[in-house]
Structure 1
Amino acid sequence: MILTLVDDILDIPAAEWDALASPAGLYLSHQWLAAQQQDPTAEVHYAVVHDGGHLIAAVPLYVVDTEPNSLYRVHEIVPGRTPARTLLAGARRGYLNAPLLHPRLAPARRREALSHLVTAAGSLASARAAQPWWLYVTDTEAAELAAACGTRPVRLSQDARIPLPGSTFDDYLAGLPSKRRVSIRRERRAFAEAGYELRTLRLSECAGTAGALLAQLQERHGHSADPAAMAGLLRDQAAGMADTGTVLAAYADDRMVAFSLYYHHAGTVWLRATGYDYARLRAAHEYFNLVYYLPIEAAYAHCATALHLGMESLHAKTLRGAVTSSLWAVQGR
Structure 2
Amino acid sequence: MITSVVDSLHDLPAAQWEHLARPAGLYLSHRWLVGEEQDPTATSAYALVRDRRGTLLAAAPLHLVRDEPNDRYRPGTVLPPHLRPRVVAGARRGYHNTPLTRPGLAPADRHACLTLLRDTARRFAADHGTTHWWPYLTARAAAGLAPLYPGRPLHLEDDAVIPLPGTDFDDYVASLPARRRAHVRRERREFAAALPVRRHLLADCHEEAGTLLAGHQQGHGHDRDGVAAMTALLSRQAAAMGTEARVVAAHDGDRMIAFCLYYHYGATTWIRAVAHDREHPAPHLYFNLMYYLPIEDAYAHGTTALHAGMTTIEAKRRRGARVSPLYALADEPSAGHPGPR
- TM surpasses 0.5: yes
* Cα distance in 2 between the residues matched to 1:27 and 1:15: 16
Aligned equivalent of 1:203: 202
Aligned equivalent of 2:258: 258
89-98 or 241-250: which moved more?
241-250
* Cα distance in 1 between the residues matched to 2:150 and 2:107: 18
Residue 301 in 1 paired to residue 275 in 2?
A: no
> 1:78–1:156: 8 Å Cα contact kept in structure 2?
no
* Cα distance in 1 between the residues matched to 2:222 and 2:38: 25
Report how far residue 76 of structure 1 moved: 0.9
Matches of residues 159-178 of structure 1 in structure 2 within 5 Å?
A: 159-178=159-178
Match of 1:200, SS state, is strand
The TM-score with structure 2 as length reference comes to: 0.94
Matches of residues 120-269 of structure 1 in structure 2 within 5 Å?
A: 120-194=120-194, 196-224=195-223, 225-269=225-269
* Cα distance in 2 between the residues matched to 1:150 and 1:102: 26
Aligned equivalent of 1:11: 11
* Cα distance in 2 between the residues matched to 1:98 and 1:190: 40
Report how far residue 85 of structure 1 moved: 4.7
Q: Which amino acid aligns with 1:76?
A: T
Spell out, residue by residue over 1:141-182, the C-alpha distance to the aligned partner (whole angstroms, 9 max, x if none): 101111122431111001111000000111111111111111
Aligned equivalent of 2:76: 75
Report how far residue 274 of structure 1 moved: 1.3
* Cα distance in 1 between the residues matched to 2:129 and 2:219: 38
Aligned equivalent of 1:322: 321
> 1:49–1:56: 8 Å Cα contact kept in structure 2?
yes
Q: Which amino acid aligns with 2:280?
A: R
> 1:65–1:85: 8 Å Cα contact kept in structure 2?
no
Structure 1 residue runs of 5 or longer lacking an equivalent are none
- Cα RMSD over matched residues? 1.2
Q: Which amino acid aligns with 2:86?
A: T
> 1:154–1:328: 8 Å Cα contact kept in structure 2?
yes
How many residue pairs match? The answer is 330
Q: Which amino acid aligns with 2:241?
A: M
146-155 or 18-27: which moved more?
146-155
Match of 2:311, SS state, is coil
Q: Which amino acid aligns with 2:328?
A: A
Aligned equivalent of 1:290: 289
Residue 113 in 1 paired to residue 113 in 2?
A: yes
Match of 2:63, SS state, is strand
* Cα distance in 1 between the residues matched to 2:140 and 2:65: 26
Report how far residue 86 of structure 1 moved: 1.2
Q: Percent of pairs identical after alignment?
A: 50
Aligned equivalent of 1:53: 54
Spell out, residue by residue over 1:170-199, the C-alpha distance to the aligned partner (whole angstroms, 9 max, x if none): 1111111111111111100100111x2211
* Cα distance in 2 between the residues matched to 1:41 and 1:187: 40
> 1:42–1:62: 8 Å Cα contact kept in structure 2?
yes
Spell out, residue by residue over 1:32-74, the C-alpha distance to the aligned partner (whole angstroms, 9 max, x if none): 0000012222221101011121001000011111111111111
The TM-score with structure 1 as length reference comes to: 0.96
Q: Residues 220 and 40 from structure 1, CA distance in 2 versus in 1: closer, same or farther, beyond 3 angstroms?
A: closer
Aligned equivalent of 1:86: 86
Q: Which amino acid aligns with 1:259?
A: F
* Cα distance in 2 between the residues matched to 1:81 and 1:310: 28
